[in-house]
Amino acid sequence: MKRLIINADDFGWSEAVTGGILKAHREGVLTSTTLMTNLEGAEAALGRARQEAPDLAVGVHLNLTEGEPLAPQDQVAALVGPDGRFAFSVAGLLRAARDSDDVRRAIAAELEAQIAWAGRRGLVPSHIDAHKHMHMHASILPIVIDLARTHGIRAMRTTAEWRLPGMSRLLPAEWGAVDRVRQWLQEKVARQWGVEAREAARRAGLATTDWFFGVRATGGISAELLEQVLRGAPEGTGEIMVHPGLPDEHPPRPTRLAASRPRELAALCDPRVRRAGDEAGWTWATYKDLTNGSIA
């Protein structure tokens, strides 16, 4: 069996990102996305998905570092600054989650609120993942698994990254040594987390993929790279993570992906990519296709 999920993170990040994701689904090979329910663009993104892309699978993209929390301030005081916005960097959050019971309780309250937001709007999430993959950190993973089971979410992303041979030559030419080393290190960490999280998820009765691709290539997805992945990836069920978007001269918050999002959108809509997937025998899928059974 060869099933492939192509998931866009950050649905609701901005109008440009939301529009790009919808375009990548309508005109390209994108099958799935995950919604940042605490951001100001979430409501509009969900409404547009229902109107413009009824077959697009929508999950929840848990987020603890961007914007403001949804939980009451007294429940998440350990996570926010004086302005009421999330105060931690990713690294700082993970250290605090490891060391502090108060932070872990605040994380549980906020993630509960983000999932509940979706439920109140009638969204049955296809799966769950997280901004910067923080849901797989050892201090946060048990919280996420418990919340998924409580809310009937039956699948979770795990980043057991498959390594494409010769990938370095397919990454953007403008990437320097710092970019390449950063992405390599992130891929190494995410792979370790992903393998462990895959086993934990399956023990808990949650569906996940056999392989994953996209951490090292974040910000560097091209049609050529996708063609090579589609032709060389192992059998089973896989996920390719992407970050498409329309051009946006004024993104609502800092991101290194502002310039790369339109390039990724073009790659996803390139007919060569669909042709490569079809020729390689992939079935275009979503996490819903993994969850025919019930949670154990």
pLDDT tens per residue across span 104-151: 999 999 999 999 999 999 999 999 999 999 999 999 999 999 999 999
For residue 295, is it within any domain? no
For residue 296, is it within any domain? no
* Contact call for residues 268 and 29 (beta carbons, < 8 A): yes
Q: Inform me whether the pLDDT recorded for 155 exceeds 70.
A: yes
The whole-model pTM stands at 0.95
Total structural domains within the chain:
1
Any idea what the CATH number is for the domain that residue 148 is in? Answer: 3.20.20.370
Residue 148 — φ and ψ, nearest 5°? -60, -45
Q: For residue 161, give its domain range.
A: 2-290
Distance, CA of 238 to CA of 3 (rounded, Å)? 6
Tell the residue number behind the tokens 């710092």, with chain if given: 178
For residue 234, is it within any domain? yes
For residue 206, is it within any domain? yes
Distance, CA of 56 to CA of 252 (rounded, Å)? 25
For residue 207, is it within any domain? yes
Q: Inform me whether the pLDDT recorded for 293 exceeds 80.
A: no
For residue 271, is it within any domain? yes
Structure confidence at residue 296 (pLDDT): 34
Q: Token pair for residue 292?
A: 């025919």
Structure confidence at residue 119 (pLDDT): 96
pLDDT tens per residue across span 241-280: 999 999 998 888 888 899 999 999 999 999 999 999 999 9
Residue 70's pLDDT band, with cuts at 50, 70 and 90, is: very high
Q: Identify the DSSP state of 75.
A: G
Residue 292's pLDDT band, with cuts at 50, 70 and 90, is: low
